[in-house]
Amino acid sequence: MTPAARVQMAIDLLDQVIAAARNRGAAADVILARWFAERRFAGAKDRRAVRALVYDAIRRCGEVPVSGRAAMLALAQTQPALADLFDGSRYGPAAIAAGEPVAAQGVAPAWLEAAFEASGLDGDECAALLDRAPLDLRVNRLKATPEAVAALFDGAERLAFAPDALRLPEETPVDRTEAYVEGAFEVQDAGSQLVSALAGAAPGMTVIDLCAGGGGKTLALAAAMANQGRILACDVDRPRLSKLMPRAERAGVSITETLLLNPAREAEALADWREQADLVVVDAPCSGTGTWRRNPEARWRLTPAQLERYVDTQAHLLDVAARLVRPGGALVHIVCSLLDAEGAGQVERFVAAQPGWAAVRLDAPAGRPRGEGLRLTPLHDTTDGFFVAKLVRQC
């Protein structure tokens, strides 16, 4: 493909991504995967170039663009060589006309930028939310050591704040290795690893992972417990939860069981677990503002009403979780969000509404205090954005 043809293909893909963002359709990575699967003529080099153009344009536009071409023209404003490819050549984009729409550049929709400012994030912190994310692994201590896994990959870097974490060069094909198949490691952001470790899971505990999803944090908790004790992994999403047990088997984890929950009826399903848990982890559904490095178009999908629904769901789940913790046990609230409404504000509400509970300060090698918890950011910590807080039920 010619460079101009790559630009036009990126514009066509952006049109689909924009439409999906407006209509709650497929995520950008799914759209790109389907597109390339139907166009085998695009070689690996072409696919990489087109993918880079699409995501660079998405990152450039704060508000939802009117079109893929408008988004690409915004990117071209910062890359003169790209503007030259709007030459009207065969398979390439038409020449740039005077006065045609160009998407506004920015970090996020205006209402979200205001919410970030109110949550104590400056412009540099917000801009870093759209950087490219690194590739991090969590070494599974049940099967391997960081030294052994690091020796398998060129350029592997140990991270001081997450002892089981390795950072690899982008696009390292980790899932094709024998070590991955045998469960020696999982792909997991170092920040996710750290907040899992801060939960304080230990051998012999009874742990409930209330929003387990596909099990990334469940497996990290099991490794911290040396596969001794009991973990109940719950979720309302059947397809995601169904992936957990095969992953656990691959990782050598045998202490986990799963429970599918019905939304708004979680307490009923968990009645037998009331006051039984040493630790309950609530990795709550959230806006995902801390993960924009991986899916930057997500900021076009979020609305104030949707954020309010997330906040309500988080409050509900924390209240459910509180009933499961034994006296002296702990509840850990985690969100991959940097908005106070989902982090520090939730903890403040919980402590005010739940007598006999207190937040404890987390001593961590990364992150900074925010309210009664700890916040990780891409700029300060080189991780995804997270908020984590630990609450203890008094005896």
Task: Tell me: pLDDT of 188 over 90.
Answer: yes
Asked whether residue 87 is marked as a ligand-binding residue, the answer is no
- The string of pLDDT tens digits covering residues 330-359 is 999 999 999 999 999 999 999 999 999 999
Q: What is the mean pLDDT of the chain?
A: 96
Q: Is 61 a catalytic residue?
A: no
Strand partners, 61: 105
| Three-state SS at 98 | coil
Q: 259 forms bridges with which residues in the sheet?
A: 234
* Residues 119, 340 contacting (CB under 8 angstroms): yes
Q: What is the CA radius of gyration of the chain?
A: 22
For residue 260, the cross-strand partners are 235
What is the phi/psi pair of residue 304, to 5°?
-55, -40
Backbone phi and psi for residue 112, each to the nearest 5 degrees, phi listed first: -75, -40
pLDDT at 113 over 90: yes
How much of the chain is in helix, strand and coil states, percent to nearest 5? 40, 15, 40
Q: What is the tens place of the pLDDT at every residue in 205-246? A: 999 999 999 999 999 999 999 999 999 999 999 999 999 999
Q: What is the pLDDT of residues 288-317, one digit of tens each?
A: 999 999 999 999 999 999 999 999 999 999
| Coil/strand/helix, residue 181 | helix
First to last CA, the chain: 68
Q: Which residue among the candidates 61, 211, 286, 336 is catalytic per the annotation?
A: 336
State the CB neighbour count (10 A cutoff) for residue 147: 11
Q: Which residue has the higher pLDDT, 264 or 389?
A: 389
Q: In terms of DSSP H, where are the helices of the chain?
A: 3-23, 28-37, 44-60, 68-76, 80-83, 110-118, 123-128, 146-150, 178-181, 190-198, 216-224, 238-242, 244-251, 266-269, 298-301, 304-322, 344-353, 378-381
> What's the whole-model pTM score?
0.94
pLDDT in tens, 357-380: 999 999 999 999 999 999 999 999
Q: Which residues, 6 or more positions from 142, have their beta carbon under 8 angstroms from its beta carbon?
A: 183, 222, 223, 226, 227, 251, 252, 253
363 is in an annotated binding site: no
